[in-house]
Amino acid sequence: MVDDTARTWVFACKVEDIRLQDVRRWEFDGHSYAIFRSPKGEIFVTDDICTHEHAHLSDGYVEGHTVECPRHSGRFSYMTGKALGAPVCINLRTYEVRIEDGAVTVLVPRRA
């Protein structure tokens, strides 16, 4: 069971700030998130730092519903966070998203 008192909804950006099939970095509360817009316009949010080594996935290459890490070309599904093969084997954390009037709001942990 998830403790909702430990999380909060935070405005991140406007949908129109992200092109189709692209990604944008969002820094909040000392943490880096990657906000993806799929080819059909859906929005997904994951951690921005690769689970293999330190690289920003928001600097990576987005194709379809996957992102390729810019450092060693590991690939993830940005929809589910699933690691899709070597060298990445640890899934990415994903975050719930709400879209209202074109605003992207993300449910993030409260970080002390």
Contact range with ligand FES by CB under 6 A, out of 9-17, 33-41, 51-59, 100-108: 51-59
Judged by CB under 6 A, the stretch of 7-15, 30-38, 52-60, 77-85 that binds ligand FES is 52-60
Task: Output the smallest distance, CB 87 to ligand FES, in A.
Answer: 5
Written as one string, the DSSP assignment of 58-110 is GGSEEETTEEE-TTT--EEETTT--B-BTTB-SPPPEE-EEEETTEEEEEEE-
Q: Is 53 in the site for ligand FES (CB under 6 A)?
A: yes
Given a contact cutoff of 8 angstroms between Cβ atoms, the answer to whether 11 and 43 are in contact is: no
* Residues at the interface with ligand FES (CB under 6 A): 50, 52-53, 55, 69, 71-72, 74, 87-88
